[in-house]
Amino acid sequence: MKKVFDEVGTLDKRCYEEFSLTEDILMEHAACSMAKFCEEKFEDESTILIVCGPGNNGADGIALARLLYKKFDVKLYLPFGAKSQMAQLQEKRAKLLGLEELDFVCSCDVVIDCLFGSGLNKDLDENSIELLKRVNYLDAYKIACDIPSGINSLGQINSVAFKAHTTITMGAYKKSLFSDISKNYVGEIIVGNLGIQREVYEGSSNTFLLEKSDMKLPFRKDKNSHKGTFGHVGIIMGEKCGAGRIACDAAFKFGAGLVTAVCHKELNLPYHIMQSHFIPENCTAVAIGMGLGKYEHAEIKDILALKIPKVIDADLFYEELLVENLNKELVLTPHPKEFCSLLKLCNIANIKVEILQKDRFKYVELFTKKYPNVTLLLKGANTIIAKAQKRYINNHGTPNLSKGGSGDVLSGLISSLLAQGYNSLDATITASLAHSFAASNFAKNSYALTPQDIIDEVTKL
């Protein structure tokens, strides 16, 4: 996993004060990172339009234009002039080299956005909005310097933003790159080197970007084993029993030795899924909430009182009785609407989904600060997993997963790992990554994915 930061200005400042690296040196390396990408990806003499803002993001772009000059057909456009000290210095260097400036947006093979970067702290004016619309309209490969212009420090877009194929962010990952709405704009994210290795540049952080290597699959290594060695999952079946069926199959296929569907009526289930009217005494994990519907509160209360790991999903996020159990080791897997209900029940915030989505990290932090024993997985385009003061981002999900039943698969996967002895955080991280990569590996049309397809792909990881 890689560190993610709220902002990197303090990291830059540390470079100046502790390592005597000047702003000019960092900027030169930022430009070199972008130049290297261009040289490796595009053919010589390709037309590259670099659109620069008046500040230091624009200065990065002017420095890049100087580095690419003559190898490519470089077009430099400064629609708002060069205002910062570094932008003026870089413009002077570019002019001494013979680089001329355009006064319009031209057609090109590649367009590089160096307008505002992560320093954007106000709404765009009409001229900026129209400029970004024109640049987005170009039939060209699009690269953003640091962060697509129009995305602010919280990952919000108030009007329009540059839509990049690739974002080359400088120094380290920023949290604003991983808001849900940012996912449509950032494309592939590459971290540019600023003159020192990231291990030196980066400080401490409580937020991390998950990678495939963080997925610890439950491969069976102990030869002296039996089905009980690998745990027993109890899935509580509700009114909409299809959700429970999906979770049962996911739990079984992800390594649980035994899976029992707990239901008050007889169901036609696969042969490998057991049935019971009560939770078996040897259960090592329980999942409840998926398709639950109307259920006796006394029974839910008894289930929540069990001293075994539990996954809570769906309908239970609207039940007040859940709140009194949030001091326990639970895994919660709400989608945004469900999380808003939970925030209200917990007297943390009374907000609508639109407000939550504008600052998901803020409300996740408020919740886990109040309930540090809970592992929270907030579903979304970029899933956030959090426990106590640490947060983990899974940005590997795909639109394929926007289907009914996908969340039921996830609940089954997490409960399976809990039953096998994983702690709540490791179970949630591994299951979430497996869920995402399984969907990504689906070879058919993106609209065709079913819960069973996800389960089948999980078995191939």
- Condensed to tens digits (0 to 9), the pLDDT of residues 125-134 reads 999 999 999 9
Final residue of a domain: which of 205, 237, 253? 205
Q: Is 63 found in the same domain as 25?
A: yes
Does position 370 have pLDDT exceeding 80, yes or no?
yes
The arithmetic mean of pLDDT across residues 310-325, rounded, is 95
* Encoded amino acid at 319, one letter: E
Structure tokens at 3: 């560190």
Q: Is 250 found in the same domain as 163?
A: no
Q: Is 254 found in the same domain as 324?
A: yes
Identify the band that residue 117 occupies on the pLDDT scale cut at 50, 70 and 90: confident
**Number of separate domains in the chain:** 2
Distance of alpha carbon 141 from alpha carbon 13, whole angstroms = 33
The pLDDT of residue 119: 67
Quick check: pTM over 0.75? yes
Q: Is 249 found in the same domain as 385?
A: yes
The arithmetic mean of pLDDT across residues 263-279, rounded, is 91
**What percentage of the chain has pLDDT greater than the value 90?**
91
Closest of 421, 63, 380 to residue 222, by C-alpha? 421
Q: Is 97 found in the same domain as 50?
A: yes
Q: Are 288 and 236 in contact (CB under 8 A)?
A: yes
**Binding-site residues for AMP:** 379-383, 407
How many C-beta atoms lie closer than 10 Å to residue 10's C-beta?
10
Q: Which domain holds residue 153?
A: 2-205
Q: Is 176 found in the same domain as 38?
A: yes
**Binding-site residues for K(+):** 57, 113, 149
Final residue of a domain: which of 142, 175, 205? 205
CATH number of the domain at 124, please.
3.40.50.10260
Q: Is 239 found in the same domain as 123?
A: no
* Encoded amino acid at 286, one letter: V
Does position 25 have pLDDT exceeding 90, yes or no?
yes
- Report the DSSP pairing between strands 188-192 and 166-170: parallel
Tens digits of per-residue pLDDT, 402-442? Answer: 999 999 999 999 999 999 999 999 999 999 999 999 999 99
Q: Is 195 found in the same domain as 248?
A: no
The arithmetic mean of pLDDT across residues 346-354, rounded, is 97
Distance of alpha carbon 426 from alpha carbon 345, whole angstroms = 27
Identify the band that residue 86 occupies on the pLDDT scale cut at 50, 70 and 90: very high
The arithmetic mean of pLDDT across residues 372-384, rounded, is 98
Structure tokens at 100: 């001329």
Q: Is 254 found in the same domain as 147?
A: no
How much is the mean pLDDT over the chain? Answer: 95
The pLDDT of residue 364: 98
* Encoded amino acid at 313, one letter: D
**Binding-site residues:** 56-60, 113, 117-123, 146, 149, 243, 291, 335, 379-383, 407-408
Distance of alpha carbon 178 from alpha carbon 156, whole angstroms = 10
Q: Is 162 found in the same domain as 30?
A: yes
CATH number of the domain at 331, please.
3.40.1190.20
Residue with tokens 């983990």: 392
Distance of alpha carbon 144 from alpha carbon 226, whole angstroms = 54
**What percentage of the chain has pLDDT greater than the value 70?**
100
Q: Is 250 found in the same domain as 189?
A: no
**Binding-site residues for (6S)-NADPHX:** 56-60, 117-123, 146, 243, 291, 335, 408
Q: Is 245 found in the same domain as 111?
A: no
Distance of alpha carbon 160 from alpha carbon 151, whole angstroms = 8
* DSSP H or E stretch at residue 32: helix 23-41
The pLDDT of residue 190: 97
Does position 347 have pLDDT exceeding 90, yes or no?
yes
Between helices 424-440 and 451-458, what is the axis angle to 10°? 110
